[in-house]
Structure 1
Amino acid sequence: MTSTASISTVPMNNGDSLDPQVFASVCAMASLASKAQQPLAKASTEAKNELLIGIAESLVEHAQEIESANELDVQDAFASGMDEGLIDRLRFNIERIASTAQGVRDVAAQPDPIGEVVRGNKMPNGMRLTQVRVPLGVVGMIYEARPNVTVDVASLALKSGNAVLLRGGHAAKRTNAATLKVIGAVIAEHGFDPALVATVDGFGRQGATAMMQARGYIDLLVPRGGAGLIKAVVQQSKVPVIETGSGNVHIYVDASGNLDEAVPIILNAKTQRISVCNSAEKLLVHRDVAERFLPVIAKALALADVVLRVDESTYDIVSGLNNGSGVDGLDMQHAVEEDWDTEYLALKMGVKVVDSMQEAIDHINAHSTGHTEAIIAEDYSAIEEFTSAVDSAVIMVNASTRFTDGGMFGLGAELGISTQKMHARGPMGLQELTTTKWIAYGTGQVRA
């Protein structure tokens, strides 16, 4: 799985040794976070909601300061030659700050998962069992150039009774510092310890490495960023990891698909925001509709400045238009094998003609990162087969892949999109930041 221009946030098995003092400092921060988390875990839903509303209001109040810090980060990013898609993720202007603050309010409006009874029963000996949701404890987050994640993670952690340690990366250092200053002040104003939301950014890459080694201090680690970062954390971490995958996202247009409906869906999925993991990267078209549909979608994508990397069948159909002159303004090249595994995060799309839906399913399962796939179809049996056979976290039916998002799914915000199968899969919200404990109520029972 390949991603464009990923920021180097953690060592990539390069032999860097971890400074013992940095490790000790990060473990100490995690210990303080754990101590601060204990009263939060017992706090009422009302108290947590008031804290979140206070954070949302303060973010809006200090939006100009945060935007000014972000402008300096963006200037440095331009000067360093950062990829356009990553710069788009890095931007945190007043409009985006307001949207993120609304996300905090949405998290406050969510049901509190803590204390929820998952299941229970009465044993034959009269003991009463209940399994209830409880916080995870101290959550670590390693991410790249995404200032909104700082706020999203903090709000989800606080509402679910967790503390969080953050490594937000060098590219967003000023933005994250300004944002965390606001959040920390509100936490203190509400009578909680600001150690609940802390950053290891001051330790640079060593801070990220220390987090990965801090087993017993950090309960869960979540990487969020490019494929390189995620792979490094998964491979190197001693702390349990939830893998949030990159998005080599596919759209399959079935022979039964509504082709008029397919065009705006594909355009939205590819171009609405190119730098995010739920944007579409690959288009598979059934051969029965390829000659009718490919010229239409190729023209639409050309108008949107999308570059195509295509198989032979697609190339022959599209290049044969207009007496061999092809589509005006379209940059189309033959795909190489690497294209089918690449998350472009750019105005670029791989296109392939398939002979059957089974071929589409096989191709997706072979090349997908397990994030999101979509089918455009009217045949109910085709839809059922696709949704049951494709092994990804989210399947969209006749809708844009851009809807794979915690906010869109009604979770208020998201920690990330999990592409693994244990504990959490898909958009992670409040429930995914909890574990459970069993409580057994007895009246003096002993085991024979």
Structure 2
Amino acid sequence: MSEPPRFDRGHTDDLMSFLAASPTPYHAVANAAERLEKAGFRQVAETDAWDGTAGGKYVLRGGAIIAWYVPEGAEAHTPFRIVGAHTDSPNLRVKPRPDSGAHGWRQVAVEIYGGPLLNSWLDRDLGLAGRLSLRDGTTRLVDVDRPLLRVPQLAIHLDRAVNSDGLKLDKQRHMQPVWGLGEDVRDGDLIAFLEDTAGLPEGSVTGWDLMVHPVEPPAYLGRDRELVAGPRMDNLLSVHAGTAALIAAAGRGSRLSYIPVLAAFDHEENGSQSDTGADGPLLGSVLERSVFARGGSLEDRARALAGTVCLSSDTGHAVHPNYAERHDPTHHPRVDGGPILKVNVNNRYATDGSGRAVFAAACERAGVPFQTFVSNNATPCGTTIGPITAARHGIRTVDIGVAILSMHSVRELCGAKDPFLLANALTAFLEG
């Protein structure tokens, strides 16, 4: 194994800034694109003809981004090395008719997205962010990053059994946030407020994709600041590490033997079946067009994909000190123990023995330790974009990630070193 990398807290500081600046998938891809632009990548439009010139390129589509770097001398059949991730997180999303209220309270009607820990959204200061679609066909990002909404919990005096019988939340009745007072609730109030906030003319917004987010910033935690608490680590931690790894790999230029790729998808938390999800055509289209732009044929495409490997990077479960019995007794991933290799023989994860070898080799080159995760046999296993990517594109795929606590909470917890170790492992993988 190579010498282990010296821990750089600057990487984790940068992750915390990225999390705070990315309250929605749309903001996350915009921030990733900005970093790529500074590193010399350029955006290409899907509606334009592509050329096969060397250099860094990226495609944005909604809440997804695909970026790749073509080294000098790359052939049409040169394989890809892909870091896969997702940009979405479980949260509360605004309904088409957002204005509601009762008993003198003004509320915002929300729908539950994905599988959040609902209780973690109670009694928190919440902002509102997302994408506004305008009458002229353009879009505008908006972020009200101040205390604007709150989902108030029922007082214990009115629910005496809550601590003995457990908190029971009805997704429709109990999760609608308040954002003011008033008896006269009018359709259009929330959107008018956002138009004014964004400096847009009244009536210019005709569509929206809006979601609620906590405004409390990420923070170091613990005696020695060895932990990080923050929102949306699942899975912006991987998006951030993958972006950093792609930029670092691109710095090697013509020395690369693969074409490094970052594929960060939307909608993983609700099944990935969308035009911007891993089960959609976006990644396959980009890879194919990249081959054809370099003068390749269908035969070259087949050869390139046959040699391609994808690391599907997503957060996983660290052993919980209060619930250790919920974990497999022989697999207890720890925070700051290095990235985890995720295995499930029923293909909820895509890792097999040959994929393990690829990841182990990358970690060895990077000097990064890694751990293995499997679920307790009595507990259903989650899944990722890994099996979808493998099945849809015929690409060898390996599921990995960083071990965290409080997954799907409004505020998750990881080790301060693990994001840095993951980025180093991903860089070694992309460099080949």
Question: Do both proteins adopt the same fold according to a TM-score greater than 0.5, normalized to the shorter chain?
Answer: no
Q: TM-score, normalised by structure 1?
A: 0.24
More strand by proportion, 1 or 2? 2
Which of structures 1 and 2 has the larger relative contact order (alpha carbons within 8 angstroms, sep 6+)?
2
Q: TM-score, normalised by structure 2?
A: 0.24
More helix by proportion, 1 or 2? 1
